[in-house]
Copies of this chain bind each other. A is one copy, B any other.
Amino acid sequence: MSAIREYYSITELTREFGVSTRTLRFYEDEGLIHPVRRGRTRLFRPSDRHLLKQILRGKRLGFSISEIQEIIQMYKAPPGEVGQIHLMMKRVEEKRAELRQKRRDIEETLAELDQVEEGCIERLAELGVNT
């Protein structure tokens, strides 16, 4: 078994997650991740790797980079000021509403795909089940 690595190279992460080095540098430019450096070379810590997972998850859900940025900000410690905390809670609730909408969209689409499959099965039956 492998212990938890201290650092990952950029190519290790590109292979693990199927993204390009360009993509990782782009995410750094956009301020989504902050790998440390040894000289000019980027070293990704487990926390960077975890962040990358969250970024890619956001991408799969169709969020833009700036939306992902926003979500990631929320994961960091809550701000110190009461007004800011309430603002964050409002944002959290908005994101949740959006996610629930997406979930409903998924359920609907899945249901329709089930219908499609049924149609296919029926059609196959019509054509004679023997193949």
Contact A57 B113 (CB under 8 A): no
- Is A3 close to B, CB under 8 A? no
Q: Within the complex, which residue of B61, B101, B112 is in contact with A62, where a contact is CB–CB below 8 Å?
A: B61
Task: State how many residues of chain A have any CB contact under 8 Å with chain B.
Answer: 41
Contact B120 A61 (CB under 8 A): no
For residue A79, give the distance in angstroms from its CB to the closest CB of chain B: 8
- Give me the interface of A with B, judged by CB distance under 8 Å: 57-63, 71, 74-75, 77-78, 82, 85, 88-89, 92-93, 95-96, 99-103, 105-106, 108-110, 112-113, 116-117, 119-121, 123-124, 127, 131
Closest 8 CB pairs of A and B: A62-B62, A78-B123, A57-B105, A78-B120, A74-B116, A89-B120, A78-B119, A99-B106
